[in-house]
Copies of this chain bind each other. A is one copy, B any other.
Amino acid sequence: MDSFDLVITNGICVTAGDIAPYDIAIKDEKIVLLAPSGSLADANATRIIDAERGYVTPGGVDCHVHLQEPAMFGKGTSSDTYETGTRSAIAGGCTTIVGFAPQQKTEPSLLAALAATHLRARGNSYCDYGLHLLVGNPSPQALSELAALRDTEGVTSLKIYMTYAALQLRDDQILSVLLAARGHRILTMIHAENGDVLTWLTSQLEAASLFAPKYHATSRPPILEAEATNRAIALSSLIANTPILLVHVSDPGATLRIRAAQTAGQPIFAETCPQYLFLTRDDMDGPGFEGAKCVCSPPPRDKESQEAIWTGLRNGTFTILSSDHCPFDYDDGESGKKTCITEDFPVGRFKEIPNGIPGIETRLPMVFSSSSEGRLSLTKFVEVTSTNPAKLYGLYPKKGSLIAGVSDADVVIWYPEGKDRKGLDMTITNGMLHHATDYTPFEGRKVGNWPRWTVLRGRVVWDRDGGGVVGEKGYGEFVKRGITSYMLEFS
C-alpha cells in the first residue's frame, strides 16, 4: 500500500448523500482512498488521526462572507480582515469561503473592483477563498467583463441589491444584470428588500422620534422582504427563468413565494443564515444599546418565523445555509455599532447602526448541534453548509465532498459522543472565538459539539486540544470557480 500524508481512521463519515463509518487516506492535498472503517489504522502514513467514532464531515463552505469591504453604507468598518476572518473560519470548521469584491457606484469596472479585493486578501487567508462580484454599477463596461470574470478570473457569481442607497438597483438594471449573467451562465445573488419602502418607513419612525435599535426591525417588516422576493422571481422569469439565489431569507412569506416558484419548476435558489434560526427580534430589544449587537438585514423575526425557516431548511426550500458574516465592533464609536451614538442620539439611531453581525466561526457548531436535537439530519447539515454551496458556486467536486482522487482533503472531525470534550456541552463566549470582533450575538448559547480538528488540503489547521489554530496565514488559496452545477440543468 502507498504511503499517505494523513489518514483519518475510525470516523463516521457524513456527506450530503451518505452516513457511514469508513477510513480516509490523504496524500498531496487530496483525498485518495476511502476504505473500510479501521482498515487504515495501521497504514503507512505521516500522521494518523483516530476519530474515535466521531463524525467526519467535508470542510464547511461559507459563501456569504463580508471581509474588509470598504464602507459603502455609512460609517461602519469591517472589524475583521481577511486574516482574522479566515482564522475564525477554520476554528469553526470552515475551510472555504467566498467573499465579496464590491464595485462602487462610481466605479465602471468589475475587474478593477476584483483586483482591489485581491490585494486585500492575497497572502492573508487561513482558508481557501473565492470571490463574488458585488455589482454596484451595472454599466455596459461592467457587464461586458462577465466573460473575462468567468473565464479568466474564476468568478462566476454576482450579488446585487434591491435596497441601500449606495447599491440599490432599479428593476430595469436588475434585468440587464440577469440578461448578461444568463448569457455567461453566471449566478446572480439578490438581496431582496424593498429599499424605497424601508427608507420611507425609517423616515416615519424618525419623525415619531423612534430611534432605538429595535426599530430597525420595525423599519423592515416581513412584507417588504416578501414583496421584493416576489419581484425578483418575476424578473427572473422574464429572463427565460434565469437562475437566481435569494440571499439571507428570513421571512416565511418570502419562503412560501420561493417554494411556489420551485414547485412550478423555476430555478429559484434560496439561502438562510443562523441568525434566522437562532435569533428573534426580541434580541434587538435589549437594555440600552445592547440590541444593536443583533442588528442585521433582514432583521431576525419572531419565534414562529424561526420555525418556518427550520421547516424550509428541512424540506429543501433553502439550498444553502451561510453565515452572512458581516462584523462590526460593538463598543467602538469610530467604526463600530456605536458610531451612531452622538450627542443628539445618546442611545443611538437605528438607521445608522452598521448592519451586520459576525458568525463565521459559530455557523457550523450551532447548526451541527441542532442535528442532535432532531431539527436537521446530519446529511442535510452537510448538504446545506458544504456540498450545496460548493455545487451552487462552482467549487464542486473540489470542495464540499469526500471523493477519492477528486476532492481536496478538506475535512472536519467532530468530537465523539461521550468524549470528554473540554467543556462540551459548551457555552459560546466571545473569548473563545478567533475573529477580531469584540462580541458575538450568540454569547451564552450552548452548543453540543465543536470541530476537534479542521483539515485543509491535507494539513491540520485547527487542533482544538492541541494548540488551537495551527494553520498559517497565507496557506489559504484563491480558488477559481466554475459555473454552478445547478445552472447546467436550466440552461
A-B CB proximity, top 10 nearest: A36-B405, A17-B17, A172-B200, A171-B196, A265-B311, A34-B34, A227-B234, A16-B17, A172-B196, A34-B404
A139 within 8 A of B: no
Query: A231: shortest Cβ distance to chain B, in Å?
Result: 6
Given contacts A17-B17, A171-B197, 15 further A-B contacts (CB under 8 A): A1-B1, A17-B387, A18-B397, A21-B406, A32-B35, A33-B33, A34-B34, A36-B404, A36-B406, A171-B196, A175-B197, A194-B231, A224-B238, A265-B311, A265-B315
Nearest CB in chain B to that of A489: its residue: B377
- The interface residues of chain B lying within 8 Å CB-to-CB of A30 are 36
Q: A15-B18, A18-B397 are in contact. Are A227 and B223 (CB under 8 A)?
A: no
CB-defined A-B contacts under 8 Å, sample of 18: A17-B383, A20-B405, A21-B405, A22-B403, A32-B39, A33-B34, A34-B35, A171-B194, A171-B197, A171-B200, A194-B231, A223-B237, A227-B231, A227-B234, A263-B263, A265-B311, A265-B315, A314-B489
Query: A143: shortest Cβ distance to chain B, in Å?
Result: 13
- The interface residues of chain B lying within 8 Å CB-to-CB of A205 are none
- The interface residues of chain B lying within 8 Å CB-to-CB of A170 are 196
Query: A434: shortest Cβ distance to chain B, in Å?
Result: 30
- The interface residues of chain B lying within 8 Å CB-to-CB of A315 are 262-263, 265
Nearest CB in chain B to that of A398: its residue: B20
In chain A between 28 and 50, which residues have their CB closer than 8 angstroms to a CB of chain B?
30, 32-37, 39
A401 within 8 A of B: yes
A235 within 8 A of B: yes
A104 within 8 A of B: no
- The interface residues of chain B lying within 8 Å CB-to-CB of A397 are 18-20
- The interface residues of chain B lying within 8 Å CB-to-CB of A341 are none
CA distance A104 to B397 in the complex (A): 51
A176 within 8 A of B: yes
Contact digits for A209-228, partner B, Cβ 8 Å, 1 yes 0 no? 00000000000010110110
CA distance A377 to B485 in the complex (A): 10
Nearest CB in chain B to that of A379: its residue: B17
- The interface residues of chain B lying within 8 Å CB-to-CB of A32 are 35-36, 39
Which residue from B19, B36, B37, B314 sits with its C-beta under 8 Å from A265? B314
- The interface residues of chain B lying within 8 Å CB-to-CB of A17 are 15-18, 383, 387, 401
Q: Which residues of A contact B (CB under 8 A)?
A: 1, 15-23, 30, 32-37, 39, 170-172, 175-176, 194, 196-197, 199-201, 221, 223-224, 226-227, 230-231, 234-235, 237-238, 256, 259, 262-265, 311, 314-317, 374, 377, 383, 387, 397, 401, 403-407, 489
Nearest CB in chain B to that of A383: its residue: B17
CA distance A15 to B404 in the complex (A): 13
CA distance A201 to B178 in the complex (A): 13
Which residue from B172, B264, B311 sits with its C-beta under 8 Å from A197? B172
B314 touches A316 (CB 8 A): no
A404 touches B221 (CB 8 A): no
CA distance A489 to B265 in the complex (A): 26
Query: A166: shortest Cβ distance to chain B, in Å?
Result: 17
Which residue from B21, B175, B197, B264 sits with its C-beta under 8 Å from A235? B197
Nearest CB in chain B to that of A194: its residue: B171
- The interface residues of chain B lying within 8 Å CB-to-CB of A200 are 171-172, 175-176
CA distance A404 to B404 in the complex (A): 11
Query: A307: shortest Cβ distance to chain B, in Å?
Result: 9
Q: A22-B404, A39-B405, A196-B172 are in contact. Are A238 and B223 (CB under 8 A)?
A: yes
Query: A395: shortest Cβ distance to chain B, in Å?
Result: 13
Q: A263-B259, A311-B264, A315-B262 are in contact. Are A22 and B197 (CB under 8 A)?
A: no
CA distance A15 to B263 in the complex (A): 24
